[in-house]
Amino acid sequence: AKDPVRVLVTGAAGQIGYALVPMIARGIMLGADQPVILHMLDIAPAAEALNGVKMELVDAAFPLLKGVVATTDVVEACTGVNIAVMVGGFPRKEGMERKDVMSKNVSIYKSQASALEKHAAANCKVLVVANPANTNALILKEFAPSIPEKNITCLTRLDHNRALGQISERLNVQVSDVKNVIIWGNHSSTQYPDVNHATVKTPAGEKPVRELVSDDQWLNSEFIAVVQQRGAAIIKARKFSSALSAASSACDHIRDWVLGTPEGTWVSMGVYSDGSYNVPSGLIYSFPVTCKNGEWCIVQGLSIDEYSRNKLDLTAKELSEEKDLAYSCLS
């Protein structure tokens, strides 16, 4: 039998945490033959709720779940973890300035970076979900210099999956037959959902989405807007932000990273830019990536037309501004 993998979920008493921990305990994230030990962190006001989640995990009697650590102590939470899913953060409240929210999250991610750096297992893989996800991941990277930058990522897979979902609904095809959409840039409304390289499996072979959706107008405006604004639409409908889809996408992100992407398929991940596609290096930016042997690699050589170029640059600009704002909170 395999040794258990230790998976940290921060903010585990929250909405996404509640959807995510049972998925991990059922093997959705790491596979049905991979035992796990869950580490759950939350803050003191949520300690009782966190303990309730722990009780439910015990009650669910998951065969793969070999242990649960539920704590408000960051060091205890981070000790020995192989995977860290950072869902905890400070939400924007009404009337709060952007800078104040940033400042709270910068200090959270700075201190959690240090705890991971000192106490996590070597080669721990980190996924930041909490918003502003790209910039929180960047701060985490800066303050955990001994963790390889390749190991620090943020979640844009939800946006990627939303794009697959929209194409599948529009064409009335199975979502599993749609692939290779791309989310470029920030997990925010400036992200660029790009279908220029996406395809659909049909009885007559793989066809470009651009060929099947003849309505360019829809692809160039409504599709993009729907994906960009989907988070807000969920809040409007549910009165809470996306949780089950966020949790499921977080599992997809880690599973593909650890176990590999299928041949011929790429996914979107927020990763540390190396300057590919002329995206400024030093930002955590969402790119198309393939994964193999536990490592992601940015898909190279895709053609970028002028329309797309502007959109790639616009979301990069927003990320540079977020980075500056984050740094101004440090000093």
By CB under 6 A, name the one of 4, 15, 148, 190 that touches ligand NAI: 15
Considering the rule CB under 6 A, would residue 114 count as an interface residue with ligand NAI?
Answer: no
Of 89 and 288, which has the nearer Cβ to ligand NAI?
89
Give the residue among 281, 284, 288, 282 at the shortest CA–CA distance from 308.
Answer: 288
Burial code of 298-317, b = ≥16 C-beta within 10 A, e = fewer? bbeebebeeebeebbbbbbe
Question: Residue 293, annotated ligand binder?
Answer: no
Considering the rule CB under 6 A, would residue 89 count as an interface residue with ligand NAI?
Answer: yes
Locate 18 and state its tokens. Answer: 């509640």
Question: Residue 11, annotated ligand binder?
Answer: yes
Distances (CA, A) of 310 to 66, 217, 304: 49, 18, 10
By CB under 6 A, name the one of 8, 38, 46, 291 that touches ligand NAI: 46
Give the residue among 268, 97, 250, 276 at the shortest CA–CA distance from 191.
Answer: 268
By CB under 6 A, name the one of 63, 80, 91, 275 that touches ligand NAI: 91
Question: Residue 92, annotated ligand binder?
Answer: yes
Query: How many whole angstroms separate alpha carbon 135 and alpha carbon 225?
Result: 23
By CB under 6 A, name the one of 21, 68, 155, 227 that touches ligand NAI: 155
Considering the rule CB under 6 A, would residue 5 count as an interface residue with ligand NAI?
Answer: no
Considering the rule CB under 6 A, would residue 248 count as an interface residue with ligand NAI?
Answer: no
Give the residue among 253, 233, 251 at the shortest CA–CA distance from 242.
Answer: 233
* Binding piece for ligand NAI, criterion CB under 6 A, among 31-39, 117-125, 129-137, 320-328: 129-137
By CB under 6 A, name the one of 5, 6, 8, 14 that touches ligand NAI: 14
Query: How many whole angstroms separate alpha carbon 242 and alpha carbon 150?
Result: 27
187 counts as catalytic: yes
Considering the rule CB under 6 A, would residue 87 count as an interface residue with ligand NAI?
Answer: yes
Of 34 and 286, which has the nearer Cβ to ligand NAI?
286
Considering the rule CB under 6 A, would residue 98 count as an interface residue with ligand NAI?
Answer: no
Distances (CA, A) of 140 to 82, 111, 127, 223, 283: 16, 8, 10, 32, 12
Question: 87 with 9: CB under 8 angstroms?
Answer: yes
Residues labelled as active-site residues? 187
Residues annotated in a binding site? 11-17, 42, 92, 98, 105, 129-131, 162
